[in-house]
Every structure is written in structure tokens, then in C-alpha cells.
Structure 1
């Protein structure tokens, strides 16, 4: 799998541990935790600075100790992501589809590009250049996202069912790059399928759990956005995403608690 960017690991740390620590982690504890993941201190500090410039982290001192908290916007996004990442609800055919139809003038092409990028990041497929489609289960999330972007004047949302014409499975294969999604699921399985053996053989179980769990979750949390939870009836037979979902659930159950033990031991040291 490709190397994970330090900023992604930092976001995972904050999502897992900062929210239960009054939404704050010291710079020293972040540096120390990421050293366990072979990230050098300079890389951690520069990544934190970039996240601050992007409005994801805010600088806060607690008892003269330098640290950062998640911004209100970042907290909201993480709360929305929790449901998708940890439960990854899969749609049924009866849920239909949510359609996003938009027309944004050329004078605001930057906002048009931002909307397209956001829809792609949410897992929408493209039925045509101005029509984006996703399972109906994403309707409420889509409404909140478009409201947050201030684009309600340019967008129409529909919830619909495919009635005709053509085969819906074939259409889905046109709207989404299923081969690419399945390839990413396969990489996840190959990379982490031996993690239980590594954990079982570890001399320091909590530290090893942390070393596995944080990168594993960081890799996983983008996959439910690549695959928006399409109904299994519309996916290729033997869809490896189902195996990846089971592996993630097993590793989450096995590693989450001991990884947290190590993280809190470091944070409170």
C-alpha cells in the first residue's frame, strides 16, 4: 500500500483520542505517538502547521503546554464520518438513489470544481457531466454538505429509482470504477490480513496494537467513501469489499482497546 501521509495519521489520532481528552492533545504527545509509527518530529510539526493553516486544527495552550484542538468544522466532519467509517451502512435496492443536479456559472468555476471534488470524495458516481448519483442512504449527508458549502441556490436534489432503460448493474459499472474500488479493498486485505498473528506474538501488546490499529484505521477510513455502500445485488459476484469489511470489523474489535491503552499511557505520561 502507498505510504500514509503524516497529516492523515494525525487526523486519525485526533479522531480516536483527542475528542475524549477535552478535544486537545499536546504537541509533545502527538510527536511521541507518531514516533511509534516511524514519523520523524519535523514531519509531525510541519503537518500540524499545514492542518492549522487549513482550519482543521486550532492552537491552544493548556497549563502553558502547547497543543492543538480540532476546529468546530473538523469536529462536525469527524462525527459524520464515524457512522460511515465504523458501520459503513450498505444500501438496499429499495433505498433508491440520490441525484445531484447542478449548474454553477463560469464566473464561479472554483466553487463548481469544489462541488465536483466533494461529491467524488463522498463516493458519488457520474451518470453524466452535470448529474451525480449515490445510494439513497446518503441523502441527508448530501443535504448537510451542500448547505455547508453554501451552494443550495445552484443544486437540485432528487431521490429516485431506476425504472428503465437498460440493466442497472451495467449502469452502476459505468457510473463507478468498480475495478479500482475492488483493487483498493484487495490491497487492504493483503496488507492487514496477518495483523492478528502479529498482535498475538507481540511482547508489548498495547504498543503493537497501536502500531497496527492507527495505520489500519487511516487506510480504512477512505474506503467507505470510495465505495458509497452500493447494494450487493448491483456489485460483481464475490465482491472483495465484503471480506474487507469483515476484516476491518474483526481488527477493530481486537485492537481498538489495547491501542487506546497505549495511546492514553503516552498522552498522560
Structure 2
């Protein structure tokens, strides 16, 4: 569920990201549609006001990710076919994050784009960055071998396959792999991203995972889950699952992945109860006409 949008900053500055998180978590089990009134109510709980929700949903509509649709006289927005596909693709990357091994091999994408197609060059670089590729040289990008299928499918879907050649194989010679990986990816930057995530959500995890029989606050679980998943979503793309043996000692990404998996599992059920309390059970929502 990793569709990126144009918003940035903290929670109040990224309503588009939060909307996509809510759609990814709850709309697909409801026919891909949510009523705008319900969406406004849910987003209000994570600090997004009505106008910001409406502005963000209109931007998503212009990008072809949602379509305005009425069901049983209720105004709402449905995920487009493209959005369904991108969310499903993101589920695999986010919730099934794969970490490669050094002997699995590597994927190389080589591209050459004529000056008359400069926009395609920018699109290619942006796409490879989002997939988590490192840069060997301006026209040669590298990733762990396990990204092969996702890369080929993404290139084809974007109409960019004709500008690229894709190779897969082992590293044979030419330097120490750990040193090369450190030159191809910004590992210090990745460590900082993981550190920010841990600083923000380890206290949340301590609160939810401490055990005990205290009352569960379903509304708080919803806010914490949406907030955490929105913050986490870009990390499995920035870190494409590089082999642990090639990363610096004490790589904090492992601790961050463990926290994300454990805390998301803890929060899902009470958060879903809260959404059902606000919107009603999924089967009671009006079906597409």
C-alpha cells in the first residue's frame, strides 16, 4: 500500500498520505469505496480538518487514484483500478519485506534515453529510486536480485521497458561488496530514517505491548496504526532488503522492522473495531450500482 503523494511534512501536512493509508487498510474490504463523510470523520481523529481532507481527495482524483462515486445516495470516493494494483503491490513490499543474501545475486538496470525524451529519463530515475535501487553510475542502477519481478513489471506498466536493459547475476570481482554497497546506497541516511521511526514509535510500542488486562482504547489504536503505517510506508522502499551481512554492524533497520511487525499486529483488531463502529460493518455499506 505504498502509493506516494505530493504532500510532505508531519501528520497535519500530509493528508494525502493518511487518506491512502486509510483506504489501503479499510476500503478494499468495503468494495474499494468509502463515504466522504466517514472519511472526514476518520481523518479528523488523526488531526486532519475537513478542508484538508477534501483538498487532498481532489488531488488524488486528479492523479487517477480515486473516482467520485455515489452509492445509495451517499457521496464517496472509490479506488481506481490503478490504485487497487498499486496498493496490492505495496502490500507485498511493506508487509512481506524480503531481505536478500549476498550470494542471491544482483539486478542491474541499464538505460539510455535520448535528449528528446528527457521526461522519460527523469521518470526512470524516479521510478528506480522508489523501488529502492542504488546508483552505480548515472545510467546504471543496482538492486538485490529479489526485486527482479517487481522491477520488470513496473518498467512495463510505466511504458519504460524500451529504454532499459535488465541483467541479473552474481558479483564476480571488482572490490569488496560491503564497500560497494555503501557507495551505491546512502546507508547513513537509511539509519537516520530508521532511527527517527524508532524514536517516534518505540514509546507507542511500549504502551501497547507492555501486557496487562487494561481496557483497550480502540480509537487510540486506530490513530496509532494509521500514524505508524503512514510513517513506515516509505522505509521498505528506501531499504530494498539489502543483505544484512553487507550492512554496518548493529543495523537498526532490523529493530525497526520487528517493531513495525509486532505493533501493527497488535493494533489491527482494535483499530478495525473502531472503524466498524464509525462506518458500520463492511457488508452494510452500499454496494456499487
TM range (shorter): over 0.9
- Is 1:243 aligned to 2:227, yes or no? no
- Is 1:161 aligned to 2:170, yes or no? yes
- The Cα offsets for residues 110-162 of structure 1, whole Å up to 9 and x where unpaired, read as 11101100110111100011000000000000000000011221110000211
Q: For residues 58-73 of structure 1, what are the structure 2 equivalents within 5 Å?
A: 58-73=67-82
Match of 1:127 in 2: 136
Match of 1:3 in 2: 10
Rounded Cα–Cα distance in structure 2 between residues aligned with 1:191 and 1:235: 23
Residue in structure 1 matching 2:30, options 7, 21, 38: 21
Q: For residues 221-232 of structure 1, what are the structure 2 equivalents within 5 Å?
A: 221-232=233-244
- The Cα offsets for residues 47-70 of structure 1, whole Å up to 9 and x where unpaired, read as 000000011111111011111111
Q: For residues 20-39 of structure 1, what are the structure 2 equivalents within 5 Å?
A: 20-39=29-48
Shift in Å at residue 196 of structure 1? Answer: 3.4
Shift in Å at residue 163 of structure 1? Answer: 1.2
Q: For residues 1-269 of structure 1, what are the structure 2 equivalents within 5 Å?
A: 2-4=9-11, 5-199=14-208, 205-268=217-280
TM-score (normalised: structure 1): 0.96
Rounded Cα–Cα distance in structure 2 between residues aligned with 1:178 and 1:232: 12
- The Cα offsets for residues 177-211 of structure 1, whole Å up to 9 and x where unpaired, read as 00000100011011001113444798661111011
Root-mean-square deviation (Å): 1.6
Secondary structure, counterpart of 1:9 in structure 2: helix
Rounded Cα–Cα distance in structure 2 between residues aligned with 1:38 and 1:153: 44
The runs of 5 or more residues in structure 2 that have no matched partner are 1-7, 282-289
Rounded Cα–Cα distance in structure 1 between residues aligned with 2:179 and 2:60: 40
Shift in Å at residue 79 of structure 1? Answer: 0.6
TM-score (normalised: structure 2): 0.90
Secondary structure, counterpart of 2:30 in structure 1: coil
Counterpart contact for 2:205–2:259, Cα < 8 Å: no
State the aligned residue count: 269
The runs of 5 or more residues in structure 1 that have no matched partner are none
